[in-house]
Amino acid sequence: MAPRGKAIGMISGGLDSTLALALVRAQGVEVKAINFYTGFCITETQRRKGGRPDGTVPANEALRAAADLDVEIEYVDISGPAYLDMILAPRYGYGANANPCVDCRIFMMRRAREIMEREGADFVFTGEVLGQRPKSQRRDTLRVIERDAGLEGRLVRPLSARLLPETIPERDGLLDRARLLDLSGRSRLRQMALARELGLTSWPQPAGGCCFLTDEAFGAKFFDLLDGRAAAGEGRHLDNDDVVRLTAGRHFRLAPAVKLIVGRTEAENRVLEAYAGGRALLAAAVHAGPVALLEGSPGPEERRLAAAIVARYGKGKDLDSVEIEWREPDGVVERFAIPPLRDEALIERLRIPSGGGAR
Ligand code: SF4
């Protein structure tokens, strides 16, 4: 049987988008799946850094879901200046943390529209469920996203379609509205029952739990970075290397325009060395310990504090003093001994987010 039209499915690999994909395919529509890489995906960042702290390497769930359902998938990398500009100034604001979900969805759906047009497809669909997320999946917001993405009438949410206005593919007979669903709200019981019916046995965390921008600690580091740049008179800016540094290490604010990042693992130490980007590099000269990056122009007190923190997280932390090697970006290297910082209350205060723990 010839397929009834073609659709572009935005797939995260989570339960909802996998079910949406199954529902559309069940109606004989040809599907091409797309999966977006924003630069803020937690599992993808872990994959690129060589795995989780426990040594396991997470799978790319979207690729797995597409393979399970035997669907072609295109991996779309949207990380880059335009996406970062959107994050710095989201028209519809931030959610609870640094997550501009409404603007982010519009950004992705504009790309999906371009792919739809390029592929000669008829519509785009997603796994969104009405009312499942407080802001980005409200009825009025779903409408705004569809309008601003230029997809009016061509954006189908198969899991909630019967609660939403009829779309062009339903009107044109590509999709039978009666075979789409009327799910709403946060309960996932019906999705799980449907998954069992379709023989789907495993799925990862719901979408959103895998994005650094929704993480409270990451959000604190993100806004602190922008505040620090403002304090240094640089204005609000962010690039992809900043994003990598935001996902690595313990972060300490030593002064309004001076910040220290201390690696927590060997992998993070390597990341910080690779992404020093004109920052001073600190490490214990003799004892094993972390690599740290210092951003800004420290005075004598901040230099002492930075070195003492680096000493505190290394193997020499119980010694009276530890020799620290301080490497400036111009190649000048200085060595000096410093007592490790043992004032845990001070460490807590300097940590971003404040009270982020002295681990
Ligand atoms: S959770 Fe992250 S990736 Fe998802 S819409 Fe929000 S900002 Fe975008």
pLDDT over 60 at 357, yes or no: no
Which one of 35, 101, 102 would you pick to mutate in the ligand 1 pocket, going by the greatest count of ligand atoms within 8 A of its CB?
101
CATH assignment, 6-212: 3.40.50.620
The pLDDT value given to residue 208: 46
State if residue 111 touches ligand 1 by the CB under 6 angstroms criterion: no
Please say whether the dihedral angle defined by the alpha carbons of residues 79, 82, 87 and 90, taken in this order, is positive or negative. negative
- Range 24-39 average pLDDT: 95
195 contacts: CB under 8 Å, gap ≥ 6: 15, 18, 19, 201, 203
Each domain of the chain, given as residue ranges in start order, spans: 6-212, 216-352
Q: What distance in Å separates the CA atoms of residue 83 and residue 12, rounded to the nearest whole number?
A: 18
CB 246 within 8 A of CB 218: yes
Q: Which range has the worst mean pLDDT, 35-49, 83-97, 160-174, 232-246?
A: 35-49
| Cβ 105 under 6 angstroms from ligand 1 | yes
Distance 66 CA to ligand 1 centre (A): 20
Residue 349 in this model has a pLDDT that exceeds 60? yes
Total residues belonging to the chain: 359
Confidence band of 70 (pLDDT split at 50, 70, 90): confident
Which residues, other chains included, contact 308 with Cβ-Cβ below 8 Å and sequence gap of 6+?
A: 338, 339, 340, 341
Supply 21's token pair: 């994909």
Per-residue pLDDT for 35 more than 80?
A: yes
Sequence-ordered list of residues with C-beta below 8 angstroms from that of 177, at least 6 positions apart, any chain: 161, 162, 166, 170
CA 217 to each of CA 87, 94, 150, 351: distance values in angstroms, whole numbers, following the listed order: 17, 15, 34, 11
Coil, strand, or helix at residue 187? coil
What confidence category does residue 50 fall into, taking pLDDT thresholds of 50, 70 and 90? low
77-86, 152-161, 193-202, range with the lowest pLDDT: 193-202
Determine the pLDDT at residue 236: 87
Say if ligand 1 is within 6 A of residue 38 CB.
Answer: yes
Confidence of residue 293 (pLDDT cuts 50, 70, 90): very high
HSE, side-chain direction, 13 A CA sphere, residue 169: 29
Please report the pLDDT score of residue 207 as a whole number: 47
Average pLDDT, the chain: 91
Q: Which two tokens stand for residue 82?
A: 């335009």
| Mean pLDDT on 231-256 | 93
- CA atoms of 333 and 331, how far apart (whole Å): 6
The span from the CA of 65 to the CA of 60, in Å, is 9
Distance 116 CA to ligand 1 centre (A): 21
Mean pLDDT computed over 339-358: 85
Q: What is the mean pLDDT of residues 91-97?
A: 95
Provide mean pLDDT across the span 161-187.
96
Atom 4 of ligand 1 has which residue's CA nearest to it? 208
Checking if the pLDDT of 210 tops 50, the result is yes
Instruction: Give all strands of the β-sheet with 6-10 in edge-to-edge order.
Output: 72-77, 30-37, 6-10, 123-125, 155-156
Name the residue with higher pLDDT: 45 or 320.
320
Q: Is 101 in the pocket of ligand 1 (CB under 6 A)?
A: yes
